[in-house]
Structure 1
Amino acid sequence: GEDLSPQKKENCTYAVTIETTCTMGAGTSNHISLRFGDTKSNEILVKHLNHKHVRWVDPLQPQVLDDVPRKPFQACHVDQFQITGQCVESPICYLYLKLTGNDDWRPGFAQVRALGGARLSSNYFYFRRYLPRHVWHGSDFCDREVTPFGIKYKRKVFVKKTASHEPLLP
């Protein structure tokens, strides 16, 4: 039989900008993972964002300080990462970060720009708090509904995929 499932393009590039706040102890050297996507179930997952560091951006100056070798996610710094992955088809509307390790990290904001598709870029996702460890933490603005009591968001739950040989039921 023919495979009628749509083919996913794997060659889109994204610029991910993440600010670490200036609070004392806000920086981290632990592993940071990132996942973001759109309403059409296109998701980009980066397990070790630290290895993708591209450049350090000075938020007060228009210049990029690439010639300064340093670790990402240090207090009072804005880091930019270049990610290549599956292409989104609608604007990026959710973003989650995960801190894996023993120290704390306090990001300020994160934003994803789809290079070559400005209309697909995300708005800013604000954190401004220490992230809990070993869990995905972020925002999902994809599925929302206006109610008389305010805007209601559906909660996104991430589960580990089971291997095909494992039974799903006990």
Structure 2
Amino acid sequence: MKNYIIQSIRLTLVLIVLLCILYPLGIALAGKISKGNGSGEKLTKNGKVVGYALIGQSFTKPEYFWGRPSAVAYNAAGSAGSNKGPSNPDYLKEVSNRIDTLLKYNPGLKKSEIPADMVTASGSGLDPNISEQGAAIQINRVAKARKLDQNKVKELVAMNTLKPFLGLFGPSSVNVLKLNLALDNL
């Protein structure tokens, strides 16, 4: 029995060193060598911080690309989903209103062309990215509002499209804040 107690104490001490000291230090080091030194990638405009690359923002003007809807109004302090299921009448009404808004501001767009990410909120409510299709359906509106050539806006979307990791994992996506900052720089 004494042997088991000593082995248990040794194992506990080894796990304390590994999980309470080395692992947190490794994670902190990884954060320090990442973009933003562990504080997140800050995006600036004219020397002023306008947002973070990994936190979505609300854009409602026609001359900007719109992001994914948020159940928490993009409040990072209260990150959460709506927890409403597809059979909830309130949720269905919200989605229907979002579809109507997209159709109103994007003439010529068909309901069947709207990707799900443009009318449903993410689980965190802070998703900064939209699908490549979500950006594509907005090109005409943005180009018209900014009096730009559609091909120039398409090119900008293509330049700001993040491809799947190793070409295999995940879908292509577009960071809305980075894309809108690139639009402002034109």
Same fold, TM exceeding 0.5?
A: no
Relative to the length of structure 1, the TM-score reads 0.26
Between Structure 1 and Structure 2, the one with more strand by share is 1
Between Structure 1 and Structure 2, the one with more helix by share is 2
Relative to the length of structure 2, the TM-score reads 0.24
Q: Which protein has greater RCO, CA pairs closer than 8 Å, 6+ apart?
A: 1
